[in-house]
Structure 1
């Protein structure tokens, strides 16, 4: 396990998500490790530079992104669930499993959820 407690790891993951939503690259740079790996249904274990090039700039297509929950997982992991609305009004929820070591994200795996129906 890392030097940080899992509670602190939750804070790191929340802060990283907030930096994405705000498009605060300087904050994200401090929170994401040099050896960071990102995986989603659209990205297969891409490295940090590719993440910042392809994924980080996409927050502008989201309207009202909101963190629903962030909780410790086993080891250095943190699960975070969030909901967002696209510009066309459709709402979606996703879950991510991130690994934090020494106060920085080293890996994130995104699991796309389905469209949210109803209020």
Structure 2
């Protein structure tokens, strides 16, 4: 039987231009129900900033056909995602 390995820290926070420091429960409750609107997502540059921070640029396509891109600053510590800060990029 596969062992469950956590990806997000218990003290995880999520921030975006529309949201200010959601906790882990609110992140999964608010962000993941909309995932079915995406038909494709691909990583563009992923750039480490230091030992804990990485910048991720990605592009995604919605079911409407519209393409968008975002940049996220992701903090990883002790092998767990501690914080995600989203900087919206807009339409492509």
* TM-score under structure 2 length normalisation: 0.89
Gaps (5+ residues) in structure 2?
Answer: none
Deviation at 1:56, TM superposition (A): 2.2
Equivalence for 1:83: 59
Structure 2 counterpart of 1:95, from 58, 62, 71: 71
Secondary structure of residue in 1 paired with 2:6: helix
Distance 1:86 1:37 in 2: 25
Per residue, is there more helix in 1 or in 2?
1
Secondary structure of residue in 1 paired with 2:33: helix
* TM-score under structure 1 length normalisation: 0.70
Per residue, is there more strand in 1 or in 2?
2
Would you say 1:69 and 2:45 are equivalent positions?
yes
Q: What value does the CA root-mean-square deviation take over the aligned residues?
A: 1.4
After superposition, the C-alpha distances for 1:79-112 in whole angstroms (9 at most, x for unaligned) are 0010001111110110000100000000000000
Spell out structure 1 runs of 4+ moving beyond 3 A.
none
Structure 2 counterpart of 1:55, from 25, 28, 31: 31
